[in-house]
């Protein structure tokens, strides 16, 4: 979750806990499906479904989540919220949640910040240190960097970053869907495509203890079914056990 591993690193961690993240992906599909249940006309829903397929979420669970979102099936009433705060060494942390019980989730988020030496801040206290960007992941084994750039440049690719097992393709927030469609049209399979917070101002944990505490904090957030995404501005790659 540092400069080069924010998105790919989180995906790898989630892939190792696939059963635990099914609830998160189902909720993301439900929210997206409220704007329409056909992914051909709803880019957000298509992204959510593609991500669920990427962790081998069963087809029936995906279809059920879509129907709950469109109202064809009864589903939970979900609320979205964003929390901002500071981890150990003052590292900026953003937590996006989707929950059926905001009081429970707020308490859990605050407890997690406190438990690992951080503190929950006020809205806007750290988001100014981040930029919203479109992020697409393509497995390296399936793509060549120059070919990816050529396929998506006219659609709006800004940069391609080496992120271990993936090419991390960055776009403007509004260009994400155009670039994703261009890459799919060129025959590439996308491991992930979504709008993310990318740090524009980075900070480094002061020592190994702070780094480990921050890593444990983010891991604890990721383990909470109500929490969809977590971002930090750590310039050092977090260490997960």
Query: How many domains is the chain built from?
Result: 1
Strand segments (E) across the chain: 79-86, 92-99, 119-120, 130-139, 157-163, 166-172, 192-199, 227-232
pTM for the full model? Answer: 0.83
**The 119-120 sheet, strands edge to edge:** 119-120, 79-86, 92-99, 227-232
Q: Which helix (H) or strand (E) holds 49?
A: helix 43-54
Is 12 contained in some domain?
yes
CA-CA-CA-CA torsion sign (46, 224, 173, 233): negative
Residue 153 within a domain:
no
In a domain? residue 79: no
Provide the percentage of residues in the chain whose pLDDT is more than 70: 91
Range of 51's domain? 6-70
Residue 237 within a domain: no
- Residue 43 inside a domain? The answer is yes
**Distance (Å, whole) CA 61 – CA 76:** 15
CATH number, position 60: 1.10.10.200
Looking at the domain assignment, is residue 45 inside a domain?
yes
Taking each helix axis as running N to C, give the angle between helix 176-185 and helix 43-54, from 0 to 180 degrees, rounded to the nearest 10: 60
Tell me if 42 is assigned to some domain. Answer: yes
Place 102 in a pLDDT band, splitting at 50, 70 and 90.
very high
Is 31 inside a domain boundary? Answer: yes
Whether residue 17 is predicted with pLDDT greater than 90 in this model: the reply is: no
Per-residue pLDDT reduced to its tens digit, 29-41: 998 898 899 988 8
User: What does the mean pLDDT of the chain come to?
Assistant: 88
């Amino acid at each position: 979750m540092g400069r080069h591993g924010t998105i790919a690193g989180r995906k790898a961690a989630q892939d190792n806990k696939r059963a635990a993240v099914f609830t998160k992906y189902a909720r993301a599909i439900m929210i997206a499906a409220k704007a329409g249940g056909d992914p051909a006309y709803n880019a957000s829903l298509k992204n959510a479904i593609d991500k669920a397929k990427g962790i081998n979420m069963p087809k029936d669970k995906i279809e059920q989540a879509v129907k709950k979102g469109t109202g064809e099936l009864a589903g939970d009433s979900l609320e979205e919220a964003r929390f901002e705060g500071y981890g150990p060494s003052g590292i900026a942390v953003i937590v996006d949640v989707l929950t059926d019980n905001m009081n429970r989730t707020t308490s859990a988020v605050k407890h997690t910040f406190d438990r690992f030496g951080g503190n929950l801040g006020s809205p806007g206290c750290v988001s100014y240190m981040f930029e919203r960007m479109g992020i697409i992941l393509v497995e390296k084994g399936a793509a060549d960097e120059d070919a990816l750039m050529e396929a998506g440049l006219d659609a709006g690719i800004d940069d391609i970053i080496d992120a271990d097992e993936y090419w991390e393709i960055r776009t403007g927030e509004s260009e994400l869907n155009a670039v994703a469609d261009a890459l799919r049209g060129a025959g590439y399979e996308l491991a992930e495509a979504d709008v993310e917070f990318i740090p524009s101002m980075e900070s480094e944990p002061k020592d190994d203890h702070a780094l480990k505490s921050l890593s444990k904090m983010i891991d604890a957030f990721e383990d909470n079914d109500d929490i969809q995404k977590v971002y930090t501005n750590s310039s050092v790659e977090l260490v997960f056990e």
